[in-house]
Structure 1
Amino acid sequence: MSVFIQQLPALIGVVIGALGSYMAVVRGDRMRFRREQTARWEERRLTVYAEYAQSVKKTVTVTYRVAARAGVDPYPDPLSLEEAQPLLAEASIRRDPSGEALLMLGSREVVEKARDWVVAAMEMERFVREGRDDRAAWQELLERQRAGREGYYAAVRDDLGLPPGHSARWPLPVMNPVPPQR
């Protein structure tokens, strides 16, 4: 028998081992790349979800202030509708691009819950722009907005695989409503 034939099983073992090592490294790199890519998209979605929430919340906060001025909300920092107009416009302008990013990157459920929340916020804005002072209607809008917000956050947490969070509903001390300042 020649020396080459005697060495052939060892040579075949080295080739098979090298191919196996190469395949394991390539597969590991692919898996790591996918994990990193998934993590980057999740971070980006979290950013988009948070920016959208902040833009809707801006509208909500301004409407609280105007409603406080009309005497239907106990918010401690009342604001006239005239003073609120630029703030409402700014909130709407900010909400549009964040809404587009949400449509692009958000899951269907998150987008649907975002729509529910923003519709309630827009109805609150319409309420204060019309100068209404119906406390019961305002309370109903507040409840819809709070439920919309809670649904949005629950959908975001579910989409990102986060544990359930706080509902952000805690009792506030009852305050005497501020009389309307017209």
Structure 2
Amino acid sequence: MNDFSIRLARAEDAEAIHRVEDDAAARFHEYPALAGVPIPPTTSAEDHARLIARGRSLVSVVDGVVVGFAEAAPIGRDLHLHELSVSMRHQGRGIGATLLEALAIDARNAGYRAITLSTFRDVPWNAPFYARRGFVEIDGCEDYPHLSESLESAVVFGIPKDRRIAMIRFLD
């Protein structure tokens, strides 16, 4: 039995989401395969609040405390996953996978065609995690300008192009 619950994110969750993202991001800085690779800064609480207002963000709660989140926003007929994070203390318990599946169910019920994202290709809790949950690599992003922009902004930030990947999960 799980000791966490999933619900829609609320405006008052923005600061807690920011803290979860900061905590989870520490794992990137500790991962040896990313040594020397710049890690983008986390999102501000204000930007989290803007995404929450779009109505497609979920949080995971344990004992009344936000411990994970999935933030997404519509782009045409797709839902773009901006961030999926779980605090380090609560990782490995299925919270991220449950958030992702709940997001997919919500997106399908709302009539979205797919969920898109960009992530690290070779970090175990990134592309391989998403691949196990039905996401596939997008070869060429001509039909997905938001993904092209995301991949390009990572390169501009200093992340080697071959380290990033665009993925999609169709919701049919």
Q: Give the structure-1-normalised TM-score.
A: 0.31
Please say which structure displays the higher CA radius of gyration. Answer: 1
Between structures 1 and 2, the one with greater helix share: 1
The structure showing larger relative contact order (alpha-carbon pairs under 8 Å, at least 6 residues apart) is 1
Which structure carries more strand by proportion?
2
